[in-house]
Amino acid sequence: MHAVVLGRTGAADLLSLTEVAPPAVGPGDVRIAVAACGVCFHDIVVRNGTFRRGVGLPVILGHEVAGVVEALGAQVSGFALGDRVAATHHRHVCTACRHCRGGRETLCAERVFLGDAGLNGGYAELVTIGAENVVAIPDGVGFAEAAVTGCAIGSELNAIVDVGRLMAGERALVTGAGGGLGLHGVQLCRLGGAFTIGITTTAAKAAQIAAAGADAVVVTSPGADFSAEVRARTAGEGADIAIDNVGSTLFHPLRRSMAEGGRIVLVGQLGGEFASFSPAQLFLRGLSLLGAKGASRAQLETSLRLVAQGRVRPVIAATLPLDAAATAHRMVESGQVAGRVVLIPPGR
């Protein structure tokens, strides 16, 4: 099959289309003929070497997958050849631990992230995924939209609803609001009844962030302190919840932007920097620092249902052929893309 293989970390030009053997199908697996695969910033930090945990080279990147069931393991039920399906971020979870039983399989100790190690990721014509991580695509939802839903929408749903516990009438702050995660976070916060503020460093994205549902958009410089502008838009009180898709460079501006008792939910980390702070800067104001990663199967199903109902719109900035993966990475890495870039394998 054709696949984009990364042999060593470095620049985007290292991503090259080649031919490799199709991934094997285990007894509990679903093999998917990939119709679309989203390009996440996670792929960027794996490729450039910033993210190393669980990464093994050579690797086929890509965890935002949608396509058609091409083969089934002997123990798989509930799917048939030809079914339209999408996947969570994971190649495997155990299904039996306390996290999996509680619908929090993103915390499973046995979880294997799709596209971080080995020649079995979404930048390919075929990918093999445990059936426990695969769901049906509702009618009316296209492959490109379904591919990005699990990560770009499901991860934000996890952060906003299940971890952050957003309540109607609260003031929500979304960083990286013009990016692949942020534009969907803005939509979900607005859908949840929050007064929503989007933070961006790209003035050209402001109109699109507002169109996604932001009540206010703050255009700032990278790493700058935007807290005064957030407080000006919240009657001096600050945000009740912040969904941070950027990471450590914004930690202190976020901390200063929060209302008493506010929750900061960490979702993304775009660079390798560390943030230094005193715990007193949090507990003296009753602030909570939370983390959310990925989406469970149930969260993917919920996200796809919201898309099918037209309540959340996947934002696709561009679709490119699979052999243009390097171009896609450069586009995403530039920070100028509003929404997701999606790769389409040959013949799809």
Segment 202-206 mean pLDDT? 93
Give this prediction's pTM.
0.92
**Within this chain, do residues 60 and 123 fall inside the same structural domain, yes or no?**
yes
Is residue 124 situated within a structural domain? yes
| pLDDT (mean) for 127-136 | 97
Q: Do 183 and 281 lie in a common domain?
A: yes
Q: Which of 136, 40, 12 is nearest to 342 (CA)?
A: 40
Examine the domain organization and report whether 13 and 147 are in the same domain: yes
Taking the C-alpha atoms of 313, 317, 321 and 322 in order, what is their torsion angle to the nearest 10 degrees? -80
Are residues 216 and 124 both part of a single domain?
no
Residue 286: enclosing H or E segment and its boundaries? Answer: none
How sure is the predictor about 249, in pLDDT bands with cuts at 50, 70 and 90? confident
Average pLDDT over residues 240-247: 92
Total of domains in the chain: 2
Check residue 158 and give its pLDDT.
96
Q: Give tens-digit pLDDT for 284-303.
A: 899 999 999 889 999 999 99
Domain membership flag for residue 157: no
Residues 143 and 97 in one domain: yes
156 domain-assigned? no
Residue 159: inside a domain: no
Mean pLDDT of the chain: 94
Q: Are residues 173 and 272 in the same domain?
A: yes
Clarify whether residues 273 and 230 are in a common domain: yes
With a cut of 80, say whether residue 192 has pLDDT above it: yes
Asked if residue 43 is part of any domain, the answer here is yes
- Asked whether residue 283 falls in the same domain as residue 307, the answer is no
Same domain, 178 and 282: yes
pLDDT digits (tens, 9 = 90+) for 47-78: 999 888 889 999 999 999 999 999 999 999 99
Q: What range defines the domain where residue 89 resides?
A: 2-151+295-344
Partners of 117 in the β-ladder: 56
Same-domain pairing of 85 and 101: yes
Q: List the CATH number of the domain containing 23.
A: 3.90.180.10
